[in-house]
């Protein structure tokens, strides 16, 4: 399905401009920014339809120059049944990475109370296709798109890197001529599989179903005392991926399910930033 583009430029003209710092007067009495600034736009629909979940927030550089920029797709957690892009952690990350030179989108998706699995996978894939469809307007390099998520969002971030079009998880959201695959993925407290004998455990819905070398670079951060995502399952996934020849980095951090979300940020934030910058090159802007 091919859909007309939303009037994105008109939407962005209504964006809230967020300045890094003050302004200075130029010779013609106009005010110009002395520091780099970003713009933030809330609740942009990324597909047509009745669901209120099909919206994203966008933060992007406003005066960083005209070069193409990398993009980062942020996916919230909440057990696929709760959570929102409006959570402070994800809002702060969205703004922070825009200030680093990324175009960042912070995505909502249908939760399990609204639509059965794998609707959430289909929705985030649609959001990535929306991003590529508007890459020219947003000055995004379509070959430098990354994803990040925590917990359920981490699962979805990895599916953006690992599940190809042939998996049948693209959904019916449109923008079909564009790829939903990201070029690098970082994740924390990542469910790589879900048990063995439950309805949601179909391998096609989980990273464990896509073991192989032909994937973009992946970072996984795991808490040693995580009672929700078992470290042994994460380690098993990482070992299988490494054995297959995948480009995957693994970091264990002392702590529970909240590492890289509400715990140990002083350790995890620099690792995530360095990993994404290694492959997405925001310094080129």
134 in a domain, yes or no? yes
Tell me the CATH number at 197. Answer: 3.40.50.1820
pTM for the complete prediction? Answer: 0.89
3 in a domain, yes or no? no
12 in a domain, yes or no? yes
Q: Write out the chain's pLDDT in tens, 285 residues.
A: 434 444 554 344 344 444 443 333 334 444 455 677 999 999 999 999 999 999 999 999 988 778 999 999 999 999 999 999 999 999 999 999 999 999 999 999 999 999 999 999 999 999 999 999 999 999 999 999 999 999 999 999 999 999 999 999 999 999 999 999 999 999 999 999 987 677 888 999 999 999 999 999 999 999 999 999 999 999 999 999 999 999 999 999 999 999 999 999 999 999 999 999 999 999 765
Say if CB 69 and CB 282 are below 8 A apart.
Answer: yes
231 in a domain, yes or no? yes
261 in a domain, yes or no? yes
> Which residue range(s) make up the domain with 245?
8-284
In sequence order, the 6+-apart residues with CB closer than 8 A to the CB of 257 are: 151, 189, 223, 226, 227, 228, 229
2 in a domain, yes or no? no
In sequence order, the 6+-apart residues with CB closer than 8 A to the CB of 8 are: 44, 134, 137, 138
Residue matched to tokens 């639509």? 115
Residue 181: other Cβ atoms inside 10 A: 21
List strand residue ranges (DSSP E) for the chain, in order: 16-19, 23-25, 31-33, 37-45, 55-61, 69-75, 103-107, 140-150, 184-188, 218-223, 248-253
Structure tokens that stand for 46 in this block: 């990324």
Number of domains composing the chain: 1
Structure tokens that stand for 90 in this block: 């994800």
246 in a domain, yes or no? yes
69 in a domain, yes or no? yes
């Amino acid at each position: 399905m091919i859909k007309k583009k939303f009037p994105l430029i008109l939407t962005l003209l209504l964006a809230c401009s967020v300045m890094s710092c003050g302004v200075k007067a130029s010779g013609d009495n106009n005010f110009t920014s002395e520091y780099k600034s970003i713009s933030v736009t809330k609740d942009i629909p990324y597909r047509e339809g009745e669901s209120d979940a099909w919206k994203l927030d966008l933060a992007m550089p406003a005066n960083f120059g005209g070069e193409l920029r990398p993009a980062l797709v942020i996916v919230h957690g909440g057990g696929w049944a709760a959570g929102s892009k409006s959570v402070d952690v994800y809002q702060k990350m969205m703004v922070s990475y825009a200030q680093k030179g990324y175009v960042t989108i912070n995505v909502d998706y249908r939760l399990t109370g609204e639509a059965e699995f794998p609707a959430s996978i289909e929705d985030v894939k649609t959001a990535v296709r929306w991003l590529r469809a508007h890459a020219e307007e947003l000055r995004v390099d379509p070959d430098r798109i990354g994803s990040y998520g925590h917990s359920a969002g981490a699962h979805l971030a990895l599916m953006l890197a690992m599940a190809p079009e042939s998996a049948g998880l693209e959904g019916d959201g449109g923008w079909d001529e564009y790829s939903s695959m990201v070029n690098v993925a970082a994740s924390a407290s990542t469910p790589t599989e879900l048990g063995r004998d439950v309805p949601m455990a179909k391998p096609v819905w989980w990273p464990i179903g896509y073991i192989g070398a032909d994937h973009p670079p992946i970072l996984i951060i795991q808490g040693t005392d995580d009672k929700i995502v078992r470290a042994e399952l994460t380690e098993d996934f990482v070992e299988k991926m490494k054995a297959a020849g995948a480009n995957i980095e693994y970091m264990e951090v002392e702590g529970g399910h909240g590492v890289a979300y509400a715990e140990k940020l002083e350790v995890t934030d620099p690792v995530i930033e360095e990993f994404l910058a290694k492959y997405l090159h925001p310094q080129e802007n």
